[in-house]
Amino acid sequence: MTVSPLDLKFSEQLRQSAFTKRSLLPLNPRSLWKIETGVVRSITWFEDGTSITLGIWGPGDIVGRSLSRANPYHLECLTRVEATLVSQEKYAHFSDALLLHSQRLEEFLEIVHTKPVDVAFLRFLSWLGQRFGKENESGQLIQLGLTHQEIGEMIGSSRVTVTRLFKELEQQGIIQRLQRKQILLHETQPWWHYEI
C-alpha cells in the first residue's frame, strides 16, 4: 500500500475541522471523520482513470480509510465541510453512526444498480433531495453544485446521457435547473411513475 502526500500531511492538519469545496479530507487508518456540516463523497478509480463514487455522506455520517478496502481511496468535499476527528479508541461511541453508514451505502448501491439509467437518474435525484435537499413550497432544492460529469460518474453513466436526461426531466416539469448548478425537484410521486 502506498502512502499518499495527504497521509503524510495528516499530522499537520489534525486540528483542522473546516474544509473547502473540492478539498480532500486527510486520511489515517486509525481515525475516522464525523461530518458535522456539508457533503462528502468517497471515491476510488480504475487504472484507466475512471472515477467510481463509493458513497455520498452528510451531517452525522462517519467516513474514513478504515471503512473501506478500496485503493486508492479519497474523501472529496462536494461542499464546504466541517468535520470532527474520531480516534480509534472512541469508535464504540459511534456504533449507531457506523451502522447507519452501512445502511446508507446499501441504499446508494441499490440506486446505482437500477436499470434503465433514466430510472436510476431520477431515483438518484430523489435520493439527493431527501438526503441533502432543502424543502420549499415548490419541492426539494438540491444545492450541491454537481456537474453533469460528476453525476454521470456517480450513477455509472456518461456526461452526455446525464445532460439528455436533465433536458427531458426539465421539459416534463419534473425538475427545474437553477443558477449555480442547483436543481429544484418538483416531482413528489414515487420514482416508478416516471416515463420517458
Please tell me what DSSP assigns to residue 11.
G
CA of 73: how far to CAs of 54, 58, 157, in Å? 9, 18, 21
Q: What is the pLDDT of residue 55?
A: 95
Predicted structure pTM score: 0.79
The mean pLDDT value for 69-77 works out to 94
- Output the nine-digit C-alpha cell for 124: 438518484
Q: What is the pLDDT of residue 91?
A: 82
Q: What is the pLDDT of residue 170?
A: 93
Instruction: Return the higher-pLDDT residue of 123 and 13.
Output: 123
Task: Summarize pLDDT for 99-111 with one digit per residue, the tens.
Answer: 888 899 999 999 9
Q: What is the pLDDT of residue 117?
A: 94
